[in-house]
Chain A
C-alpha cells in the first residue's frame, strides 16, 4: 500500500525519508514541489497528485508536509487517515510535531515508522501499544540513558497486540486512581451581516484522561442522551450497549484518549453566546475607512465568556489600521493584512469595543467586500447543548477511583460576515 514517506518542510526540503518496499527515488517529490508552487496558499496543495508511475498523497500538519508515495489503487482516505495518525503519534511522543523535534528524535521516529507499517500496511497504530514497544523520550530518560547506556526500546516484548483489548496495556499500576472526563463543545456558526444566524451547529467531544490500575470496566451514562444526534466512538466503546441502553460501556485505554465525538443536530436551536456589532465602511474616493466593533455576551446562563480573540483578514488595499481598543490589545500585520484583537474576558457591564480608522492605498479603488470576522472564545463550566453526564461507574476492580468531569464550550468555526 504505502511505499515510501517523505517529510517536507515549509521551505521545500526533504528532511526525512522512509521506505517500506523498494526504494523510491526522492526525485518523485519534484511533482509535489511543482504542485506546491502552483498553489497560492500552502493548504491549497491538492492532497492527491498523480505522477506517471506513482501517486502522491500528502497531508499538511504543523507546516510539515507528509508525502506518502503509493503505487496502486488504495482508498485515499486510508492513507490520509494513517498519515494523520502518524502525526498524532509524533505529537504524543515528542509533545510537538515540529521539524526540530523530528530531527532531534530521528531514531525514535524511524523505529516508530517501522512498527506502524509493515510492507506498507498499518500494523500497530494504537499509541498504547507503541509506547510499550518504544518508550517515549523524556528528559529524565535521556539523562539516564546517556549515563547507563540503557535504551528506549522496551525490554519486555509487547503483549498488547495479542490481547483482546489491543488499546490497553496490561499490568497498569497507579497509586492514585483517577479518571477525568472533559466534555468540550464547539460551536460552528455563520452569522450574517444583520446578526441573524445562517447556520449553527454544535460539535462535541469527550476527552478522557484515565489513570486506573488493572482492567477497569467503566460505564458512563448521560442525563439526556437523546441530544446526541450522531456519534463516533473510540473502538473501546461497546456499540451494542449504546444502541440498546444509551450507556457508554468500555474498558478504557490507559492515559489520554478521545472517548467519543458527537454532533448535536442542527434541528435544535443553538444558543449563540456572543453577539457582535460592527460597522466597517470604506468610502469611495477617500483613502480612509472606518472600523467599529463591539462585542457582547448573550445567552450564557450567567457564565463568563473568556479568552475572547477576534481576528479578521482585512482587504488587500488596507495599508494600516489606527484603532483604539477599550480592552485588551490589538495587532495589525501590514504584510498579511491580518488584524487580531486579544480581548480576554467580556465584562457585561462594560462591553469591549475596538474603534478607529484604516488607511488605504492612495488611489486604489474601494475594496468591494467586507472582511469576515472570526471569533474565538471559551466558556467554562457549561456545555452549550445542555448535555450532562449522569454517572460514572466502575466494575472489575476493587479500589475506588477519583472521578472528575469538566464542561467547556468553545467557539469552533465561528464567523461573522460583515
Chain B
C-alpha cells in the first residue's frame, strides 16, 4: 500500500504501522518502504513517517541517511514552522554519522530570525549532547548565545538545555540573571519550573544566607535537637557571629528581585510551578517570608492523590525545620477515611510534626478517631505517631500512655502488638512509675501472638525485673515451656530474659536458665546457638571463667538510653526540596547538590549588564493612585535611600526602584562627566563668536581654573554632610521653604538674595542653605522663556555644561527634594541668571545634578547627533500640568546641524506637548540644552515625536518613569510639616534623625 500513488492508501498503511508501533510490535522490516515517503506532500502521511523514522532510525542507520537531504532542504524553507519541524526531526534521529550536520543546523537555527526556530534549536541541544558528548564545548557556545536571547519562548528551553549539558557552568548565568528573573512570569509553565530550579542553585552560590542572624539566635535551641548539625554549626556560628556584629545583613537587590518575581507564581495552576517556587522560598528566603508558601502548598492538597503524595512529602520535611509555618493549616491535614493509605500515613507524619503543647489535645482527639479505622496499617502508624507525640511533648506522656494501655485490650492483634512496641519505648523513659503497666503487659504474653510484641514484652520484663520481682520468673517459666515453638526474635529475648534474671535473682531461676540455654544450644538457628553459648560462658560461673564474667551484671543491666522517636523526614532537607532525590531520600542520577551559602558574597557586579536597563517593568502597572502618592512621596524615598543605602525593606517596591535608579544614575553621571570634560576642552577653541560673551567666558575660564579645586572639595564635603547629617538637610529644607513662602510676597528680595549669593561663595558651609534660599527666590523672578532665549543660546550651553560637570560627582538628593517643591521656574533660566551675575555661582547651584539622564537618540543612530533627556524636576512655567523635560543635544559630527525642531508628535489622547523653540544652529562638538514640556496625563505612555534636523528626521519617544511625573505644589511651612508627618506614617522605612 505504501507504494501506491494515492495518499489515502498511504495514510491508511501508515496508520496501521503506527498502531503496531504503539502496541510495541516490531515494524522495522518496513523501513525502506516507509522512508521513501518522507518527501510525501500529504502532511499527515509525512508526520506519521516522521514518527516511524524517529522510532527506527537508530536500528537502520544507513537507510535513515536517505531521508536527511529532505530535512536539510526543510531547514532552508522560508516558513519558520517548517524550518522548526525539520530541525526537530533531524535532531531526533539518533545516528552518529550526522552529528556534524546536526551541529551545523543547530548553530544556524540558534541565530534564526524566528524565536520559535531558536526554541527548537535549544531543544535540539540536549539531543545532540546525548548522542555525542564530545560536542560539549561547541554546544556550550550555542547555549551561551541562546541564553542571551530576550524572548520568553526561548528562555525555558535554553535553561533546560543548560541544565542537561553544562549545569556546572554557573558563570554563564551572571549576565542573564536579571533578565531571566524579569521574564520569568511570562515564560510557559514548564520552562518556569526549570528556570526556578536553576535559579535556586544559582542564588545559593551567589548570595549570602539571609538567615545568618536569626539562625544564631533562634535556631540554637532547635539545633540542639539535631546533633550533627550542631557540631559543624558551632564553628560557623562563631565566625558568623563575628561577621554579623561587624555588619548587619543586607540583602542583595538581585536576591530580592528573584524573590519578588517568583512570588506571583505561587498562584500558578500548575502544581509543579508552585512546588518549585515553594522550594525556592524555603531554600532562599529570609525566615520571616517563607510563610507565604504554606497557603499555596495547602491548596495543592486538593489536587490528585499523586500530587498530594509529593506535596505531603515535602511538607513533612518543611514542618521539621519550620513548624510554625503550617500550624494555622493544621486542620487541612486531618485525615479522611477515603484517602489512600500512603496519603494517610504522610498526613499523620505532618500532624505529628506539627504537634506542640497548644494543639496536642486536638491532635490526640483526632488520633483517637483514627485508631478505630478499618485500615490496619494506618492504625499501626497512628499508634506510632501517638508514641512520638508522647516522647516529644512531656505534658501528654501520661495521657498517651494510658490511652495506649487501653488499646492493649483491643481485639485486633496488630493494634495490640503495635501499642506494646510503642509502650515499651515510652516506658524506657521513666520505668519506675509504671510497674503496674509492666505487670499488665506480662499478663498479655499469654494472648499476644505477634512475635515483635512478645519480644518487646520480654525485653521490658528483663530490663526492669527489679520492679516486678515476683512476675518475672513466672514469665520465664511460661516461656521456657513454649520456647521451641517461638519465633527466633522471641527466642533471643527469652535467652536475654533468662540471663538477666539469673544475674539478679539466681536462686529462683538458675535451673530455668540452664534449661533455656540447653534448649537454645540445639536450636536450628545459629544466631540463637551463638547467643546461648556466649551467655552461658558469661554468666554461669565455671572454674575457668574469664575476667568478663565479673562484669556480666554491668554488661546486661547497664542503663540503656531511651530511644529517640524521630521523624523519618528528619534529615531529608539536605536534598533540594521537590526533587526526585528528596522524594526517594536517595541521590538520583544527575542530581545537582544544592550548594551551601557562601561565606562572603561573590562580586555582584558580574550581573551588571551593559545595556541600560530602563525602568523595571512593574512600575508601569502600578495603579494611578499609587502613582500620585509616589509623586509626592518621592523626596522622602530618596532621603531614606540616602541614609540607609540599599535597604531591603520588603514592602516598598518603589523604594528599591529608586534604589536601583540612583545606582545607575551615579554610574551614568560618572561616565558622563568624563566625556563632558573632554568636550569642554574642545569647546574652548571656538569661543570667538560674540565679543561680549567672549570676555565673560574668558573670565570664567580663568576663574574656573582657580575655583575648580575648591569646588571639588566642597562637593566632597557635601557628600559627607549629606550622608552623615540628615538633620542639616531637613533644616535646610525647612529654611528653604520659609524663604520660599516669604519670597512669594516680596519680590524685591530677589536682588538682595543675589548679592548675598555672591557674598556667600567663600563659605561652602553656609552655602547649601543660601543655595536653597536662592532657588526659592528664583521662581519669583519668573523670567519668561523668551527672555531666557535672549540671554543667548550660546551662554546657556556653557552654563549647563559648567554645572553639569561640576556637579556630576555629587549625589545630591539633598537638593532635589527642595526642587520638587519649587514653585515655578526653568532651570536653565535660573542658571543663566545666576551665571551672569557671578561667575562662580554655578558651582553651588546644582538642581539637576543627580537627575538621571535617558538616551533619546544614540549618536550612532542619529548620525552623529546625540540626544539625551532628563526630567529636571522643575515646574514647567507655561503650563503647570506639563512636566519639564530637559533635552541635551550634542553634535558629534564635523558638520553643523541646523534647524533642530520637533515635528509631528504622535500622542495618546489627552497628552499634550509644548515644543522647545527651534535651534537654528548647532556647531560641531557643541552641546545645547533646551526644555520642553509634556503633559503625560499621569500615564506612563510614551510621547512619540519626530526630531528633525535640516537633513534628517528621527523618530524618538520619551517615556516617563513614574517617579518623574510631578506637579508643582505651593506650601507653607506648616503645611509642609504636616505633610511630612503623614508621610512618615506612611513610609515605615523612613527614620527620624
Q: Does B909 contact A (CB under 8 A)?
A: no
- Asked if A92 CB lies within 8 Å of chain B CBs, one says no
Within 8 A of B (CB), among A239-282: 239-241, 243-245, 258, 261, 263, 266
Complex CA distance for A417 and B49, rounded to whole angstroms? 58
Q: Which residue of A lies closest to B16 (CB)?
A: A107
Residues B94 and A22 in contact, CB atoms below 8 Å apart: yes
Q: Do A18 and B589 have beta carbons less than 8 Å apart?
A: no
Contact between A232 and B48, CB atoms less than 8 A apart: no
Cβ proximity bits A305-334 to B, threshold 8 Å, 1 near / 0 not: 000000001011000000000000000000
Please provide the chain B residues from 543 to 585 with a CB less than 8 Å away from any CB of chain A in the complex: 578-581, 583-584
Please tell me if B643 contacts chain A, counting CB pairs below 8 Å: no
Give the complex CA separation of A46 and B305 in angstroms.
10
Given the known interface contacts A76-B310, A106-B22, A166-B188, the answer about A413 and B269 at a Cβ–Cβ threshold of 8 Å is no
| In contact, A153 and B621 (Cβ under 8 angstroms) | no
List residues of chain A with CB within 8 A of the CB of B578: 75-77
Q: Does A109 contact B (CB under 8 A)?
A: yes
- Decide yes or no: A374 and B338 within 8 Å by CB, A107-B48, A231-B267, A245-B623 being known contacts: yes
Query: Distance (Å) between the CB of B316 and the closest chain A CB?
Result: 15
In the complex formed, the residue of B with least CB distance to A265 is: B295
Q: Given the complex, which residues of B lie within 8 Å of A365, measured CB to CB?
A: 411
Stretch at the interface among A118-126, A342-350, A383-391, A402-410: A118-126
> Does any Cβ of A come within 8 Å of B731's Cβ?
no
A151 to B341, Cβ gap below 8 A?
no
What residue in chain A is nearest B590 (Cβ atoms)? Answer: A72
Q: Is B480's CB within 8 Å of the partner chain A?
A: no
The reply to whether the CB of B374 lies closer than 8 angstroms to some CB of chain A is: yes
Q: Is A377 an interface residue (CB 8 A)?
A: no
A335 on interface, CB distance cutoff 8 Å: no
On whether the beta carbons of B51 and A114 are closer than 8 Å, the reply is: yes
Interface stretch, picked from B122-130, B463-471, B698-706, B737-745, is: B122-130
Known: A43-B340, A47-B310, A78-B190. A73 touches B590 (CB 8 A): yes
| A34 interfacial by beta-carbon distance below 8 Å | no
CA distance A40 to B275 in the complex (A): 29
The answer to whether A151 touches B19, judged by C-beta atoms less than 8 angstroms apart, is no
Instruction: Contact check, A368 vs B589: say whether CB atoms are below 8 A apart.
Output: no
- Let me know if A263 and B337 touch, CB within 8 A: no
**Contact present for B412 and A368 (CB under 8 Å):** yes
Residues of A within 8 A of B410 (CB): 368
A368 and B307 contact, Cβ closer than 8 Å, known pairs A75-B580, A166-B188, A415-B336: no
Determine the chain A residues whose CB is within 8 A of the CB of B592 once the complex forms: 73
Partner of B272, one of A55, A81, A155, A316: A81
Task: Count chain A residues whose beta carbon lies closer than 8 angstroms to a beta carbon of B.
Answer: 96
Asked if A233 is at the interface of the complex by the 8 Å CB criterion, the answer is yes
Partner of B296, one of A162, A198, A230, A258: A230
Q: A119-B123, A121-B190 in contact; A109/B307 too (CB < 8 A)?
A: no
Does A400 sit within 8 A of B, measured CB to CB? no
Chain B nearest Cβ from A64, distance in angstroms: 13
Interface residues of A in 99-117 (CB under 8 A from B): 106-107, 109-111, 114
Judge whether A97 is part of the interface by a CB distance below 8 angstroms.
Answer: no
B302 (CB) vs chain A CBs: closest residue: A203
Task: Report the separation of the CA atoms of residues A70 and B310 in the bound assembly, to the nearest whole angstrom.
Answer: 16
Q: Max chain B CB contacts within 10 Å: which of A44, A192, A258?
A: A44
B residues within 8 A CB of A239? 185, 264, 267
Contacts of A43 in B (CB 8 A): 305, 340
Q: How far is the CA of A76 from the CA of B276 in the complex (A)?
A: 11
Q: Would B55 and A151 count as touching, CB distance under 8 A?
A: no
Set of chain B residues within 8 Å of A81, measured between Cβ atoms? 270-272, 307
> For chain B, what secondary structure do more than half of its interface residues adopt (helix, strand, loop), or is it mixed?
helix
Interface SS of A by simple majority: mixed
Given A78-B193, A313-B337, answer yes or no on A118-B24 (Cβ-Cβ < 8 Å).
Answer: no
Most chain B CB inside 10 Å of its own CB: which residue of A41, A81, A230 = A81
Interface pair B272/A201, CB less than 8 Å apart: no
A285, CB-defined interface residue at 8 Å? no
Question: Does chain A have a CB within 8 A of B309?
Answer: yes
> A26 to B197, alpha carbons, bound, how many Å?
31
Cβ of A112 to closest chain B Cβ, rounded Å: 11
Please state if B583 and A48 are interface contacts (CB–CB under 8 Å). Answer: yes
Q: Does A395 contact B (CB under 8 A)?
A: no
Q: B50 — nearest CB in chain A belongs to which residue?
A: A114
Q: Does B608 contact A (CB under 8 A)?
A: no
When the two chains form the complex, which single residue of A58, A76, A230, A244 contacts B583, counting CB atoms closer than 8 Å? A76
Residues of B within 8 A of A63 (CB): none
Stretch at the interface among A9-17, A169-177, A286-294: A9-17
Query: A78-B272, A151-B44 are known contacts. Are A48 and B618 too (CB-CB below 8 A)?
Result: no
Q: Do B307 and A153 touch (CB < 8 A)?
A: no
Cβ distance A5 to chain B, nearest Cβ, rounded Å: 11
Give the shortest distance, in Å, between A417 (CB) and chain B (any CB): 6
- Known contacts: A107-B15, A232-B268, A368-B412. The answer to whether A315 contacts B190 by CB under 8 A is no
Asked if B43 is at the interface (CB within 8 A of a chain A CB), the reply is yes
In the bound assembly, the distance between CA atoms of A70 and B164 in angstroms comes to 14
Query: How many whole Å from B63's CB to the nearest CB in chain A?
Result: 17
CB under 8 Å from chain A, chain B span 576-630: 578-581, 583-584, 586, 588-592, 618, 621-623, 626
B332 contacts the other chain (CB 8 A): yes
Say yes or no for A21: interface residue by CB 8 A criterion.
Answer: yes
In the bound complex, what is the Cα–Cα distance between A109 and B298 (angstroms)? Answer: 34
In contact, A111 and B47 (Cβ under 8 angstroms): yes
| Chain B, residue nearest A155 (CB) | B43
* Complex-state Cα separation, A78 to B306, whole angstroms: 11
Are B47's CB and A50's CB within 8 A?
no
Complex Cα spacing A130 to B957, Å: 40
A417 touches B341 (CB 8 A): no
> Is A415 in contact with B583, judged by CB distance below 8 angstroms?
no
Instruction: Check A17/B338 contact, CB under 8 A, given A74-B580, A152-B44, A365-B411.
Output: no
Residue of B nearest to A314 (CB): B374
Candidates A73, A114, A370; contact of B589 at CB < 8 Å = A73
Closest beta carbon of chain B to A397's beta carbon, Å: 20
* Residue of B295, B306, B338 touching A230 (CB-CB under 8 A): B295
Cα A119 to Cα B87 in complex, Å, equals 13
Question: In the complex, are the beta carbons of B81 and A157 less than 8 A apart?
Answer: yes
Chain A's closest residue to B123 (CB) is A118
Q: Chain A residues near B945 (CB, 8 Å)?
A: none
A216 within 8 A of B: no
Chain A residues with Cβ below 8 Å from B94 are 22
Cβ B8 vs Cβ A198 within 8 A: no
C-alpha spacing A199/B328, complex, angstroms = 13
- Closest Cβ–Cβ distance, residue A14 to chain B (whole Å): 7
Q: Does B320 contact A (CB under 8 A)?
A: no
Could you give, for residues 294-332 of chain B, a 1 whenever the CB lies within 8 Å of some chain A CB and a 0 otherwise?
011011001011110111000000000000000000011
Residue B82 CB within 8 A of the other chain: yes
CB–CB A75/B272 < 8 A: yes
Per a CB cutoff under 8 Å, which of B15, B24, B88, B115 touches A17?
B24
Contact of B271 among A77, A123, A158, A316 (CB under 8 A): A77
Closest residue of chain B to A229, judged by CB?
B295
Q: A59-B306, A72-B590, A417-B369 are in contact. Are A48 and B580 (CB under 8 A)?
A: yes
B726 to chain A, nearest CB (A): 32
A62 at the interface (CB under 8 A from B): no
Asked if B304 and A59 make an inter-chain contact with CB atoms under 8 angstroms apart, the answer reads: yes
Contacts known (A47-B309, A230-B299, A239-B267); A71 close to B332, Cβ less than 8 A: no
23 residue pairs bridging A and B, Cβ less than 8 Å apart: A1-B160, A19-B55, A41-B340, A44-B340, A44-B342, A70-B580, A73-B590, A75-B197, A75-B579, A77-B307, A107-B48, A110-B18, A119-B123, A125-B189, A158-B81, A162-B114, A190-B336, A231-B267, A232-B267, A239-B264, A261-B269, A263-B302, A313-B374
> Which 7 pairs of residues, A with B, have the shortest CB-CB distance?
A72-B590, A149-B8, A369-B372, A151-B44, A199-B331, A153-B44, A372-B337
Given A77-B307, A151-B43, A415-B336, 16 extra CB contacts under 8 A: A41-B340, A50-B586, A55-B580, A60-B306, A73-B580, A80-B307, A107-B15, A107-B18, A151-B44, A153-B47, A162-B153, A235-B268, A235-B269, A243-B264, A258-B269, A413-B336
